[in-house]
């Protein structure tokens, strides 16, 4: 029977909790400890290598491709609606890369390639700067809903499409064709990366 102030002892009987009454562990305490289970010694922990923690892989880059003036004359998925040589090469390029991509549409903002839309006659080049800023805010809002905020962005678009977005995306975006003429852009897009 245990008395008040006593605690059970794993090493051979009750031990008074009062410090003055304590004595060292009884002989054979190690054998009795073994019957209670294996005890990991701190030295064992220090010697054991820690498992490697792999960082999460970064998300794949997301491509943003500008729309163009040349379009089919009927509704179609956005990836098929735009028919200029530049857009076709840009589409082929991003599809070769294998990552997700979106189209920057002057009328619709950020659209997925499979979204069916009707032809339209709008371009950011003809819009006033204030209208382009509103367009940019709408696209940024759509990006927040549809695009991983950690994903790098590769923007294949001219300055009228880039500039309204750039202040919000520049830390994670690149514009690899910036400063290239149309012929140079076509050559760049045709390269096998």
Cα–Cα dist 1/50, whole Å: 45
Percent of the chain with pLDDT over 90: 67
Cα-based distances in Å from 83 to 70, 72, 98, 155: 6, 7, 21, 19
Q: How distant is the alpha carbon of residue 97 from its chain centre?
A: 17
Check if the beta carbon of residue 140 is closer than 8 Å to that of residue 170: no
The stretch 93-105 carries a mean pLDDT of 96
Check if the beta carbon of residue 142 is closer than 8 Å to that of residue 109: yes
pLDDT digits (tens, 9 = 90+) for 2-34: 555 555 555 555 555 555 555 666 676 566 656
The stretch 114-136 carries a mean pLDDT of 95
pTM: 0.71
């Amino acid at each position: 029977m245990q008395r008040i102030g006593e605690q059970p002892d794993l090493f051979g009987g009750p031990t008074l909790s009062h410090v003055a009454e304590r004595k060292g562990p009884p002989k054979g305490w190690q054998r009795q400890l073994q019957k209670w289970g294996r005890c990991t010694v701190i030295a064992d922990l220090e010697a054991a290598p820690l498992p490697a923690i792999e960082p999460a892989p970064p998300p794949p880059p997301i491509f943003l491709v500008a729309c163009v003036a040349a379009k089919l004359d009927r509704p179609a998925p956005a990836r098929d609606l735009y028919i200029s040589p530049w857009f076709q090469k840009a589409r082929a390029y991003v599809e070769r890369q294998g990552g997700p991509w979106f189209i920057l549409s002057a009328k619709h903002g950020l659209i997925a390639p499979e979204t069916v839309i009707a032809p339209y006659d709008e371009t950011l080049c003809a819009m006033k700067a204030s209208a382009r800023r509103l367009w940019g805010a709408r696209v940024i809002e759509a990006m927040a809903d549809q695009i991983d905020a950690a994903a790098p962005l590769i923007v294949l678009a001219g300055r009228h499409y880039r500039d309204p977005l750039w202040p919000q995306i520049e830390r994670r975006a690149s514009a690899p064709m910036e400063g290239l003429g149309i012929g140079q852009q076509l050559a760049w897009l045709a390269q096998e990366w």
